[in-house]
Copies of this chain bind each other. A is one copy, B any other.
Amino acid sequence: MDVTDSKGETAFHYAVQGDSSQVLQLLGKNASSGLNQANHQGLTPLHLACQLGKEEMVRVLLLCNARCNMAAPCGYPIHMAMKFSQKGCAEMIVGMDSNQIHSKDPRYGASPLHWAKNAEMARMLLKRGSDVDCTSASGNTALHVAVMRSRFDCAMALLTYGANAGARGEHGNTPLHLAMSKDSVELVKALIVFGAEVDAPNDFGETPAFIASKISKLVTRRAFLTLLRTLGATCSLPPTQGAPAEYGSVASPHPCSVERAQPPAISLSSLELEDLVHVSRARKPPFLLSSTRDEKRTHDHLLCLDGGGVKGLVIIQLLIAIEKASGVATKDLFDWVAGTSTGGILALAILHSKSMAYMRGLYFRMKDEVFRGSRPYESGPLEEFLKREFGEHTKMTDVKKPKVMLTGTLSDRQPPELHLFRNYEAPEAFREPHISPNVNLKPPAQPSEQLVWRAARSSGAAPTYFRPNGRFLDGGLLANNPTLDAMTEIHEYNQDLIHKGQGNKVKKLSVVVSLGTGRSPQVPVSCVDVFRPSNPWELAKTVFGAKELGKMVVDCCTDPDGRAVDRARAWCEMVGIQYFRLNPLLGTDIMLDEVNDAALVNALWETEVYIYQHQEQFQKLVQLLLSP
């Protein structure tokens, strides 16, 4: 049993390469040193099974107590499985010995996650509890490795599981330093969007922006510099200019080791430098306000979040910018939060103290599960997700501050009616009821009985995307931009207080912040007369036209910009309320159910550019939000 052949392989090695796991099982019945014997390449039978992707062999070997901590040149069997992207084998090992997920290979001190070559392998480990920011011996995280290897999908998986985009690794390089020497605009955008700083210096005093200015490939350099310029990055020159010898340091060829940032070959032109120098940095605002939320605020602040499916990411990015600039969590900046559909889910996330960075990762991760298959999507995954995040039994009134309202469309009546899901008692209405008194319609649940996850699901039941949730259709049908309805609600709430003799509790609204999910550029369309086809070609256009007309009607009605914004602005100005509408113009039309990471990263990139371009507005907003 311990006999080895010329390659140093035992019967176990042979059995693993064979077809029958029963042979292996028989071999393993008696304890034998061959079980863990390495061949001349340093591979134990378990290594070999992992390399070959033989899941069943792995299972049998582990049942025979084969050791997981036998080192081969590429590390332990788990590392071998990762190196060859053998998902089943890796899962088997981690399943049988959960510690293996944290095991570091002896040579590089790298965790299995460092070895992940694609998003699927990375996700598999992250879902099982792998530490996303774990460092190798050289100090690099898995994100450093993914960036250095230009693995965009893998980097996205890590980022969406919360990897630190600004982690300092070998030589003090952040992933962004490394990305600058790669030819991938997408990676650079993704890292910046997820919070990487463009002017964090490495151990040599080089910032990512500086490295970008030294890229030898002209097209890439120009692209990166343009990117950075749109964000207003400062091109800070490295303090140690005269250290070219350093650049020659040998980069290890191993996948888990990380190259030094490539040496700059061409210098930034003086003109380009000039351009950059007087552009200030958007994401580090010049003002620094440390005040926290004033509980005794004399005026109320309202936050309104539009609908828009996965484009809710744009709202998240805007909120992160506001939180960063104010140093205060959204929850504490606002007294009222209104949301429609995806905006409603985010309103609940704010209520339940979830960080926006967490929500950003969550949205990226969930979209693939929720928008699977074809429309209308199964609502199961969406509902599971909502239950997991908010709890299966959590009621709307379980958390009371800030006051939150989600819009829904009650479609069991004609005409349909707006319903607000609230975490407080609805104000009593003193107006004529819309409904005939003799019509017996079931009233919606009281806030104290309303399940949070159901409210989120009901607000986000976009027709044709999801099936309606009972009698509720997406709030976007009536209030895709919920600002007007939120202001109406607050007015009615205050009137109700006055009516109840609690006028002293009434606080005047002073700030309204309305966040959009990105808007597409308005484009000309040809007007098709959908009614009178004069020939077969016209007839064909008519079918198309009727669809177009339907789309146009829906677009008209659910456009969260345009008149919805004009009306809200005029209303606020008349009353003396400060109104802020923030909604980036996106270069392309992003669908509610977009699943392409690069497209979404690009939308967030455009959001960052928008934030930079509107920094004065953000500054003013933050000052207002923080003033007592």
A contact set with B: CB distance below 8 Å: 376, 409, 411-418, 431, 434-436, 439-441, 463-464, 467-468, 470-471, 473, 477-479, 484-485, 487-488, 491-492, 495, 521-527, 529-532, 549-550, 552-559, 561-563, 566-567, 569-571, 573-575, 585
* Complex contact A436–B522 (CB within 8 A): yes
Q: Are A556 and B555 in contact (CB under 8 A)?
A: no
List 4 additional contacts besides A414-B525, A478-B557; criterion CB under 8 Å: A431-B569, A463-B553, A470-B527, A550-B550
> How many copies of this chain does one complex carry?
2
**Given contact pairs A527-B412, A529-B467, A553 touches B552 in the complex (Cβ within 8 A):** no
Closest to A417 in B: B562
Asked if residues B556 and A556 are in contact (CB atoms below 8 Å), the reply is no
Chain B residue at minimum C-beta to C-beta distance from A531: B376
Please state if A415 and B570 are interface contacts (CB–CB under 8 Å): no
Are A484 and B522 also in contact (CB < 8 A) when A463-B549, A532-B467, A552-B411 are? no
Chain B residues whose CB sits within 8 angstroms of the CB of A413 once the complex forms? 522-525
Q: How far is the CA of A376 from the CA of B574 in the complex (A)?
A: 42
CB <8 Å contact, B562 and A418: yes
Contact A553 B487 (CB under 8 A): no
Residue of B nearest to A416 (CB): B556
Chain B residues near A562 (CB-CB < 8 A): 415, 417-418, 434, 478
| Shortest Cβ gap from A311 to chain B (Å) | 15
The 5 closest A-B pairs by CB, nearest first: A557-B557, A491-B570, A488-B570, A376-B531, A436-B521
* Residue on B nearest A490 in the bound complex, by CB: B570
- Bound Cα distance A485, B484 (Å): 12
Closest to A566 in B: B488
Tell me the bound Cα distance from A393 to B590 in angstroms. 46
Contact indicator B416/A555 (Cβ below 8 Å)? yes
A94 to chain B, nearest CB (A): 38
Chain B hits for A470, CB < 8 A: 527
Least Cβ–Cβ distance between A458 and chain B, in angstroms: 12
Complex Cα–Cα for A363 and B567 (A): 32
Contact partner, A434, options B435, B522, B570, B573, Cβ 8 Å:
B522
A484 in contact with B567 given A376-B531, A531-B467, A557-B477 (CB within 8 Å): yes
B573 touches A468 (CB 8 A): no
Q: How far is A549 from B474 in the complex, measured between Cα atoms in Å?
A: 12
Docked Cα-Cα span, A434 to B434, in Å, equals: 34
- A412 to B561, Cβ gap below 8 A? no
Beta-carbon nearest neighbor of A442 in chain B: B524
Considering the complex, give the chain B residue whose CB is closest to the CB of A488.
B570
Residue on B nearest A523 in the bound complex, by CB:
B414
- Which chain B positions have C-beta within 8 A of A561? 415, 434
